[in-house]
């Protein structure tokens, strides 16, 4: 395991989590992650932080707004 | 000739049915559209105004929607254009300052700050921190993060909504996420992060 491998693995982090890597690249990342706890911990953390941000910033639509939107419909 | 009024009546009935179907489908998507709208602007009031303007325009121009295509992306494109047109979105030069930190930046900062970064996200960052950190990301980058990470749009859909090339979506997402992590690190570790 070399630092070059870890550098390459870091580059693949975002597209890996976005599921946009080619089969070959994904296999390459997974091979590295299997043997490298340094990168593996950081991948797990990145997934958690994305989830945390997503849950934190999502705000549900106020019910009264939905009624206002429905009122904009063309009358029958 | 004599059945022309019947043809007209049938056509009108079909059009009314299509319109109702369109409106119902658009309203079913409102919750998902709002999630994105809310993070495109600063306040709930602005998001509500933007939603109402978007739906008013969508209901008026429903004929320009092509059935079978992605209605959520279509609604978001209207919303994005309105947001820019109404000047809510402050136009600014893209942030081109180099950002040296890599993708492991936040993890490494938490580690450096003492102990392990594992299991520390909730301990070190509040919901308000996440909201503030996202708000601090410049618009050009934030819009892409909101569409892809909050709205679950593909890179291609985000490119279509924002009317930018897909390569620009990818580069803004890459940089935007790094800026976001830097902002989160500031809040988790303190503003001494550099």
- pLDDT at position A4 over 60: yes
Q: What is the mean pLDDT of residues A25-33?
A: 94
Q: Do B121 and A14 touch (CB under 8 A)?
A: no
- pLDDT tens for B31-60 read 999 999 999 999 999 999 999 999 999 999
- What pLDDT does residue B194 have? 46
- pLDDT at res. B192: 47
Q: Residue B149's closest chain A neighbor by CA?
A: A54
Shortest CA gap A42–chain B (Å): 6
* B49-58, B87-96, B101-110, B159-168: least confident range: B87-96
Angle (nearest 5°) at CA B11 between B7 and B13? 115
pLDDT value for A30: 94
- Tell me the mean pLDDT in the region B122-144: 92
Complete DSSP assignment for B151-177? S---HHHHHHHHTS-HHHHHHHHHHHH
CA dihedral B53, B58, B64, B70 (to 10 degrees): 110
Structure-token pair, residue B38: 């809310």
Test B131 with A70 for CB contact under 8 angstroms. no
Residue among B22, B153, A36 at smallest CA distance from B145:
B153
Asked if A9 and A33 count as a contact pair (C-beta separation under 8 A), the reply is yes
Predicted confidence at residue B121, as pLDDT, reads 78
B113 touches A: beta carbon within 8 Å: no
- Would the CB atoms of B23 and A73 count as touching at under 8 Å? yes
Q: What is the pLDDT of residue B52?
A: 97
Least confident of A49-58, B88-97, B111-120: B88-97
Contact B44 A74 (CB under 8 A): no
Which residue do the tokens 């924002």 mark? B162
Contacts with B141 from chain A: Cβ below 8 Å? none
Q: Which run of H or of E encompasses B26?
A: helix B4-28
Contact present, B169 and B162 (Cβ < 8 Å): yes
- As a whole number of angstroms, the distance between CA B59 and CA B23 comes to 7
Tally of CB atoms within 10 A around B98: 5
Query: Residue B94 has what pLDDT?
Result: 54
Residues of B in contact with A16 (CB under 8 A): none
pLDDT of residue B157: 96
Cβ–Cβ of A69/B48 closer than 8 Å? no
- With cut-offs at 50, 70 and 90, classify the pLDDT of residue B100: low
pLDDT tens digits, one per residue of B76-92: 999 999 998 877 655 55
- Contact: A14, B173; criterion CB under 8 Å: yes
B144 touches chain A (CB under 8 A): no
CA–CA min distance A44, chain B (Å):
9
């Amino acid at each position: 395991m070399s630092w070059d491998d870890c550098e390459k693995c870091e580059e693949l982090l975002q597209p890996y989590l976005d599921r946009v890597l080619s089969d070959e690249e994904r296999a390459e990342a997974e091979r590295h992650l299997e043997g490298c706890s340094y990168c593996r911990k950081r991948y797990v953390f990145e997934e958690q932080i994305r989830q945390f941000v997503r849950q934190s910033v999502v705000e549900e639509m106020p019910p009264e707004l939905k009624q206002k939107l429905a009122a904009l419909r063309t009358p029958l | 000739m004599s059945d022309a009024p019947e043809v007209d009546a049938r056509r009108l009935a079909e059009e009314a049915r299509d319109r109702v179907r369109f409106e119902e489908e658009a309203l079913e998507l409102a919750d998902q559209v709002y999630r994105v709208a809310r993070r495109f602007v600063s306040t709930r009031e602005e998001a509500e105004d933007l939603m109402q303007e978007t739906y008013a325009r969508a209901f008026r121009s429903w004929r320009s929607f092509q059935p079978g295509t992605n209605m959520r992306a279509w609604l978001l494109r209207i919303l994005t254009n309105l947001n820019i047109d109404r000047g809510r979105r402050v136009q600014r030069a893209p942030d081109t300052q180099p950002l040296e930190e890599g993708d492991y930046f936040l993890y490494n900062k938490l580690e450096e700050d003492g102990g392990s970064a594992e299991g520390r996200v909730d301990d070190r960052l509040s919901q308000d921190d996440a909201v503030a950190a996202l708000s601090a990301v410049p618009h050009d980058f934030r819009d892409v993060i909101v569409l892809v990470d909050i709205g679950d749009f593909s890179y291609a859909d985000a490119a279509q909504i924002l009317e930018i090339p897909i390569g620009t979506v990818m580069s803004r997402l890459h940089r935007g996420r790094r800026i976001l992590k830097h902002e989160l690190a500031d809040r988790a570790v303190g503003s001494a992060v550099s």
